[in-house]
Amino acid sequence: MFNDQKVSFSGVQPSGNLTIGNYLGALRNFSTYSEKYKTFYCVVDEHAITVRQVPADLRRRTYETLALYMACGLDPAKNTLYVQSHVHEHAELGWILNCFTMFGELSRMTQFKDKSVKHADNINAGLFTYPVLMAADILLYQTDVVPVGVDQKQHVEICRDIATRFNQLYPDTFTIPEPVVAKTGMKIMSLAEPTKKMSKSDENSNAVVYILDDRDTIMRKFKRAVTDSDSVVRYAEGKDGINNLMSIYACFTGKTFEEIEREFSGLGYGAFKEAVGQACADALAPVQEQFRTFMADKAMLEEQMKKGAEEASWYARRTLSKVQKRLGFTQFR
């Protein structure tokens, strides 16, 4: 809460091409808060360097992620859209919160365990303290709600623990945030291995549908999606592939699972996959068109970055200064 207004905050890493998992689990839900909340949506480039990035790619993806925020309906006049490294208070509060976070609690984070296996040659301290920087992102803005996919819920929970611990020592410093996970789209699975999360850093691009894939590619990927030896479109245990396609179809069409089962009764998997592909391509077409328009105007994107960073800094400075005062750091005017 900032000046009696509720706050929504979320972030996406510019670490790869964004997927329909990112879209349905996170981005699409951000605009829900634009009218009634003060909203901050950040491109978290400092988080992205916890794994090695090619500088030119990181730079391009930072612009692309900002353009995608806007293409997903986030109007910069109503939402503060900015890049994390442009607001130095994130890193500063991150350091302070490191001193209020326990080694043991960070060791339990599943994303750290997964990424340590995936990047065994580079298990750096940043990968380990990643959730502390994320807590700083959230707490700097006195955030009430954090819209995320279900994989990030654990990180919002550790953020709540850190904030509660800090508040016990220094009362009324931070608002305690709530994670908000959408009912459908909370976890979109890989099309090739439907027990695994669809992830933008997956090496098998056929397992992942990107927001910017063209219609033919989308249709082809859904056609090849792994299903099962049954042929009935039905949501059931053990039918991970079909369950995932049904969730995706439900997200794009707003239909319930019962309606989907009825619609495809007696039609088989071929017709169903075709319909999922069409629904996905139809929904993404306007986003892609807007994205191309925004990407063609780099000067406008840079102006938005600057404006966003100025807005965000104003809030971030206030919280950081409050924290520093409570800790006993000296200050002068």
| Residues pairing with 42 in the sheet | 11, 82
Query: Binding string to ligand LTN for residues 217 to 236, with x set by CB under 6 A, is what?
Result: --------------------
Least distance from C-beta 254 to ligand ATP, angstroms?
Answer: 17
- Which residue of the set 36, 196, 200, 239 is catalytic? 200
Which tokens belong to 268?
Answer: 């088989």
In the chain, the DSSP E strands lie at 7-12, 38-43, 80-83, 145-147, 178-180
Amino acid of residue 295? M
**CA–CA distance from 213 to each of 63, 209, 238, 246 (Å)?**
18, 7, 29, 20
223 is catalytic: no
Residue bearing tokens 């000046």: 3
* End-to-end Cα distance, the chain: 26
- Of all residues in the shown chain, the one whose CB is closest to ligand LTN is 11
- Which residue of the set 36, 38, 115, 322 is catalytic? 115
**Contacts of ligand ATP in 23-62 (CB under 6 A):** 25-26
Q: Binding residue for ligand LTN (CB under 6 A) from 17, 24, 28, 47?
A: 47
Q: Which does 134 bind (CB under 5 to 8 A by kind): ligand ATP, ligand LTN, none?
A: ligand LTN
Q: Binding residue for ligand ATP (CB under 6 A) from 6, 86, 88, 187?
A: 187
Q: Does residue 175 belong to the site contacting ligand LTN (CB under 6 A)? A: no
Q: Helix, strand or coil for residue 42?
A: strand
200 is catalytic: yes
Cβ nearer to ligand ATP, comparing 20 with 320: 20
Least distance from C-beta 198 to ligand LTN, angstroms?
Answer: 13
Burial zone of 53 (CB within 10 Å; 0-12 exposed, 13-18 middle, 19+ buried): middle
Of the candidates 3, 50, 41, 2, the residue with the CA atom closest to the CA atom of residue 22: 41
Burial zone of 18 (CB within 10 Å; 0-12 exposed, 13-18 middle, 19+ buried): buried
| Residues in binding contact with ligand ATP, number by CB under 6 A | 22
Cβ nearer to ligand LTN, comparing 148 with 245: 148
Catalytic residues: 115, 197, 200
| Residues of the shown chain interacting with ligand LTN in the complex, contacts defined by CB under 6 A | 9-11, 13, 44, 47, 134, 137-138, 146, 148, 152, 155
Which spans of this chain sit near ligand ATP (rule: CB under 6 A)? 12-13, 15-16, 19, 21-22, 25-26, 148-149, 151-152, 185-188, 197-201
